[in-house]
Amino acid sequence: MTTRTYRHPLPFGAAPQADGTTRFRLWAPSHPVVMLAVEGQARVPMTALADGWHEAVVACAAGARYRYVLADGTALPDPASRAQDGGPHDASIVCDAGAFRWRHTAWRGRPWHETVLYELHAGALGGYAGVAAQLPRLAALGVTAIELMPIATFGGTRNWGYDGVLPFAPSAAYGSPDALKSLIDDAHGLGLMVFLDVVYNHFGPDGNAMSRLAAPFFDASRRTPWGDAIDFSQPAVREFFIENALYWLFEYRFDGLRLDAVHAIGDTSFLVKLARRVRAHTALREPDRHIHLVLENEDNRASLLAHDFTAQWNDDAHNAIHVLLTGEHDGYYRDFAKAPTARLACCLADGFAFQGEQVARLGRRRGEPSAWLPTTAFVMFLQNHDQVGNRAHGERLTALCDAQALRAAVALLLLSPQIPLLFMGEEWGCTQPFLYFTDYHDALADAVREGRRTEFAHQRAFADPAARAAIPDPNDVGTFTRSCPTPSDANQPAHAAWLAWYRTLLATRRAMLVPRLPGARALGAEVISAGAVRARWRMNDGAALTLYVNLHRQSAGCTAMPAGTVLCSTPDDAAKRLAAGELAPASCVAWLEAPP
């Protein structure tokens, strides 16, 4: 097997040179004097360059530990550290980015329409090596891509990942950089893509060196829930994050990125520039690679999906389905309480439910017209880290709704032409919660705990202070351990039916739908009755996909004669009952008609 190395040279950070030295480069416009402290060596003054840059070249090799020291004696890690000797309060490590030997060098990714995403938390599955152990099982299930929740170094050893402070350094809590590369290489050998969730809208509250080094990195006039907003008008700021995206894609060989909460960035011109740079770099370096850029964007900016971005998470579809399954109306589910069935029909026909309509909860209009986009521009899911973990007690749908209705919803998810995403454990009907967890101490721990409980005070179920006090403490190690699914549970008889259902539907999708997805378009969707929808799509070969779903407990009066190939009938007699004039409660029927 031919092996090779990959490296993405960064214009900042620590870069080992061929002559045995290492070049250190730092943007610290707030400090005219910065010292470099390499362990075992005398401190070296860095040369001040133009525009706030500092540079030093010293004799040291990969493996050296180092920090930057300010005039007041404060020692800080490198904001562009490729690896940490622990967490963000520890030393940075000089890395030879090209030392790892990749085995699956012929891998070029997979076309987007083949994607079945599986979101997971690396720490909850035992670190990078623990995730790697699950890859054969996931490939056999029918998953084609895993998506890692953020892995940038954060404060402590337990965190969802959205509190990262060193975006270039994969968390040592999960393993070494080479262990992460090995995980990705193993996945490619099994035909699995690997996506990374990246956070460019804020830094976490513990260990943020950038706030000490570069005040211009932030815009004090604009506040966010996490503090001063990042100032993307600064060229150095834009380059920092654009290089981060290129680094993960070309040095670590990730096949795609999911950009977290881009509505909180504010500056859409930065997003456009980032995507263009990724596409240009790919065309120059590896034009035959499939690289995918996916957005989370509460603003439903369909226009961002016109060119260089691949898709967006479809929260609207999730919210409509969740309201139909559970009847919950708190928080953002309030926007779907009045007409959840119509909202679902709109999502199946057009992509987004909100395409410029006024949203009372927000006090503004939300969204842009989206019907012109391909069906694969939307990532649909029933569960994910947010929708499970941002519940006070982290309940999964298995604990919240009727099992047969959930079975029908899973069929809708996996047989819709939109791109499906699963959340770790859902394929076997996991009943363990996924809770919000952190590893903070002292005043910050108190603030996070109380802030978490205050978030739910407006919900009726938590109006009583005693109910809020029962919300798990994010900093308790038990909160984390309770959130770790046990993959061996998939082999238990109680979970066998769920696993078989997912496996069957994914096999059907792979054989019958995936080849027909490029160029597929919606023919429309309509409400049959409360909770019941009919949707149709024209596939690329002229075949018509028809799907009837009823997520309520009452049957709906309608007659349809399934023609062609029946892809799904749940419960088993649902297709027969539909032909007789009844869409059964908690049912889904789908079929594919040959081209006329």
Answer whether 33's CB lies under 8 Å from 45's CB: yes
d(CA 409, CA 404): 9
d(CA 305, CA 314): 13
216: pLDDT strictly greater than 90: yes
Answer whether 258's CB lies under 8 Å from 20's CB: no
Helix (H) or strand (E) holding 410: helix 403-415
d(CA 236, CA 216): 10
| pLDDT confidence of residue 202 | 95
pLDDT digits (tens, 9 = 90+) for 58-70: 999 999 999 999 9
Residues 1-14 have a mean pLDDT of 93
- β-strand partners of 93: 65
Q: How many residues does the chain have?
A: 596
Identify the structural domains of the chain with CATH numbers, from first to last: 13-93 (2.60.40.10), 318-381 (no CATH), 518-593 (2.60.40.1180)
Supply the DSSP symbol for 102: B
Residue carrying structure tokens 């709906």: 556
Q: Residue 250, exposed/middle/buried by CB under 10 A (0-12, 13-18, 19+)?
A: buried
Give yes or no: 78 in active site.
no
Of the candidate ranges 314-328, 356-370, 396-410, the one whose mean pLDDT is the lowest = 356-370
Residues 273-297 have a mean pLDDT of 98
DSSP string, 190-238: TT-EEEEEE--S---SSS--HHHH-GGGEEEEEEETTEEEE-TTSHHHH
Residue 2's pLDDT band, with cuts at 50, 70 and 90, is confident
| pLDDT confidence of residue 423 | 99
pLDDT above 90 covers a percentage of the chain that reads 92
Identify the residue with better confidence: 578 or 332: 578
Residues 92-114 have a mean pLDDT of 97
pLDDT digits (tens, 9 = 90+) for 516-572: 999 999 999 999 999 999 999 999 999 999 999 999 999 999 988 878 999 999 999
Q: Which of 240, 144, 158 is nearest to 195 (CA)?
A: 144
Residue 98's pLDDT band, with cuts at 50, 70 and 90, is confident
How far, in Å, are 504, 577, 590 from residue 562 at the CA level? 19, 11, 8
Of the candidate ranges 78-92, 111-125, 213-227, 298-312, the one whose mean pLDDT is the lowest = 213-227
Answer whether 82's CB lies under 8 Å from 251's CB: no
Give yes or no: 260 in active site.
yes
Cβ-proximal residues to 95 (8 Å cutoff; 6+ apart), any chain: 14, 16, 62, 82, 83, 177
d(CA 209, CA 40): 23
* Model pTM score: 0.97
| pLDDT confidence of residue 560 | 85
- Rounded to 10°, the helix 493-508/127-141 angle is 60
| pLDDT confidence of residue 563 | 87
Residue 415's pLDDT band, with cuts at 50, 70 and 90, is very high
Answer whether 133's CB lies under 8 Å from 315's CB: no
| pLDDT confidence of residue 45 | 98
| pLDDT confidence of residue 555 | 96
Q: Residue 442, exposed/middle/buried by CB under 10 A (0-12, 13-18, 19+)?
A: exposed
Answer whether 265's CB lies under 8 Å from 271's CB: yes
233: pLDDT strictly greater than 90: yes
In this structure, what token pair is assigned to residue 200? Answer: 């460019």
What spatial distance separates the first Cα and last Cα of the chain, rounded to whole Å? 48
Marked catalytic residue, from 260, 315, 426, 473 = 260
Q: Residue 345, exposed/middle/buried by CB under 10 A (0-12, 13-18, 19+)?
A: buried
Using CA atoms in the order 345, 529, 526, 351, what is the torsion angle rounded to 10 degrees? 0
Supply the DSSP symbol for 334: G
Q: Residue 65, exposed/middle/buried by CB under 10 A (0-12, 13-18, 19+)?
A: middle
225: pLDDT strictly greater than 80: no
DSSP string, 430-462: --S---------HHHHHHHHHHHHHHTTTSGGG
123: pLDDT strictly greater than 90: yes
| pLDDT confidence of residue 501 | 98
Helix (H) or strand (E) holding 324: helix 315-326
pLDDT digits (tens, 9 = 90+) for 293-317: 999 999 999 999 999 999 999 999 9
Max CA pair span of the chain: 85
Mean of pLDDT over the chain: 96
d(CA 260, CA 147): 12
Residue carrying structure tokens 């968390």: 171
Marked catalytic residue, from 296, 299, 316, 350 = 296
Q: Give the CB-side neighbour count of residue 445, counting CA atoms within 13 A.
A: 13
In three-state secondary structure terms, 30 is coil
| pLDDT confidence of residue 39 | 98
